[in-house]
């Protein structure tokens, strides 16, 4: 490579990453509600500048997948087992999800961690299991209020990212999406400031950079926690914030479509 070419500034990293706006319905969405939602939502998607994902209850997956067919929206589950089969009552495997047409899965959401005992060790197996099955995983990470106040945010993120991505080979790291969701901001209306989101997400990207600089430039890292139509644009304008994971505000199709539009 000539001196001249080496002197060229690198392309801005953000330009390589398409925004990704995702909705997490949590425990909402009978098939009837899902069908009605999609009837309103689909026409509001006018060639969006962002990729769009909806994470819905298992029982609503096929309804949403059929209703949004042709819109380009990725439809996924909110959790899955790391096992293929066996004595794991109530669990759903990656193969069961892909067979039903799911394209993605949320892993390690803080509610799964806090209420159902999901561990970093379990996620270490689940993230590669999702990738191997052809599902695009979103690995959720984030600190509690106490951890933030104690100055432990970076330690927590280092641990969650380190364990969650440990068994993912470097050349597949960028196929994972990470959602940084500070627990104190989830469902509380207490959104992180754009600076707080940028700082934490920049730190997550640097952690991935410790494994592979190329992956760090390509991996999408989303912010989640009280994202609303009114605060989305400012959060999304931060250089390292590649999108949003939206809980409560995704239940309103018009509001969620407005957040998708804010990424454009
Ligand atoms: P919220 O939830 O937008 O309702 O705060 C975010 C999430 O839990 O993913």
Digit-coded pLDDT (tens) for 1-12: 344 444 444 444
Minimum-distance ligand 1 atom for the alpha carbon of 185: 5
Q: What confidence score (pLDDT) does residue 10 get? A: 45
* pTM of the model as a whole: 0.94
Q: Residue 244: CB within 6 Å of ligand 1?
A: no
pLDDT in tens, 219-245: 999 999 999 999 999 999 999 999 999
Supply the pLDDT for residue 72: 96
In whole angstroms, give the CA distance from residue 127 to residue 164: 7
Return the structure tokens found at 184. Answer: 């104190």
Give the model's pLDDT for residue 4: 42
Asked if the model's pLDDT at residue 13 lies above 70, the reply is no
Mean pLDDT of 108-134: 97
pLDDT tens per residue, range 139-173: 999 999 999 999 999 999 999 999 999 999 999 99
Whether the per-residue pLDDT at 14 is higher than 60: the answer is no
- Is the shortest distance between the CB of 257 and ligand 1 below 6 Å? no
DSSP string of 220-238?
EEEEESS--HHHHHHHHTS
Burial state string for 95-127 with b = 16 or more CB within 10 A and e = fewer than 16: bbbeeeebbbbbbbbbbbbeeeebebebbbebb
Higher local confidence (pLDDT), 40 or 6: 40
Residue 63 clears pLDDT 70, i.e. is over it: yes
Quick one: pLDDT at residue 16?
A: 82
Coil, helix or strand for 2? coil
Residues serving a catalytic function are 109, 181
* pLDDT score for 193: 95
User: To test the ligand 1 pocket, which listed residue (24, 113, 142, 191) has its Cβ within 8 A of the most ligand atoms?
Assistant: 24
Q: CB of 226 closer than 6 A to ligand 1?
A: yes
Give the mean model confidence (pLDDT) for residues 188-213. 96
Query: How much is the average pLDDT of 192-216?
Result: 97
Query: How does the average pLDDT of the chain come out, rounded?
Result: 94
Residue 101 has pLDDT above 80, yes or no: yes
Assess whether pLDDT exceeds 90 at residue 41: yes
User: Cα(150) to centroid of ligand 1, in Å?
Assistant: 23
Evaluate: CB of 227 within 6 angstroms of ligand 1.
yes
Residue 245 in contact with ligand 1 by CB distance below 6 A: yes
Q: What's the gap in Å between 2 CA and the centre of ligand 1?
A: 49
Q: At what angle do helices 194-211 and 153-164 cross, to 10 degrees?
A: 40
Is 60 exceeded by the pLDDT of residue 52?
yes
């Amino acid at each position: 490579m000539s001196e001249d070419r080496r002197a060229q500034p690198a392309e801005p990293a953000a330009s390589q990453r398409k925004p990704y706006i995702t909705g997490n319905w949590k425990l909402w969405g009978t098939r009837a509600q899902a069908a009605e939602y999609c009837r309103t939502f689909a026409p509001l998607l006018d060639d969006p500048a962002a990729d769009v994902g909806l994470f819905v209850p298992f029982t609503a997956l096929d309804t949403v997948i059929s209703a949004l067919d042709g819109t380009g929206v990725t439809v996924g589950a909110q959790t899955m087992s790391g096992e293929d089969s066996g004595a794991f009552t109530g669990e759903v495997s990656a193969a069961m999800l892909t067979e039903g047409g799911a394209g993605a899965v949320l892993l390690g959401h803080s509610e799964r961690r806090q209420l159902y005992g999901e561990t970093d060790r379990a996620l270490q197996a689940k993230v590669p299991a999702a990738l191997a099955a052809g599902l695009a995983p979103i690995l959720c990470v984030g600190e509690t209020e106490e951890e933030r106040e104690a100055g432990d945010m970076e330690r927590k993120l280092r641990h969650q990212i380190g364990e969650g991505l440990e068994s993912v080979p470097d050349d597949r790291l960028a196929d994972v999406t990470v959602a940084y969701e500070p627990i104190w901001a989830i469902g509380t209306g207490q959104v992180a400031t754009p600076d707080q989101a940028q700082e934490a997400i920049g730190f997550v990207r640097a952690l991935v950079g410790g494994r592979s600089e190329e992956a760090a430039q390509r991996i999408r890292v989303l912010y989640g926690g009280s994202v609303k139509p009114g605060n989305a644009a400012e959060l999304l304008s931060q250089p390292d914030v590649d999108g949003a994971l939206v809980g409560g505000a995704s239940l309103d199709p018009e509001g969620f479509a407005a957040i998708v539009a804010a990424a454009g």
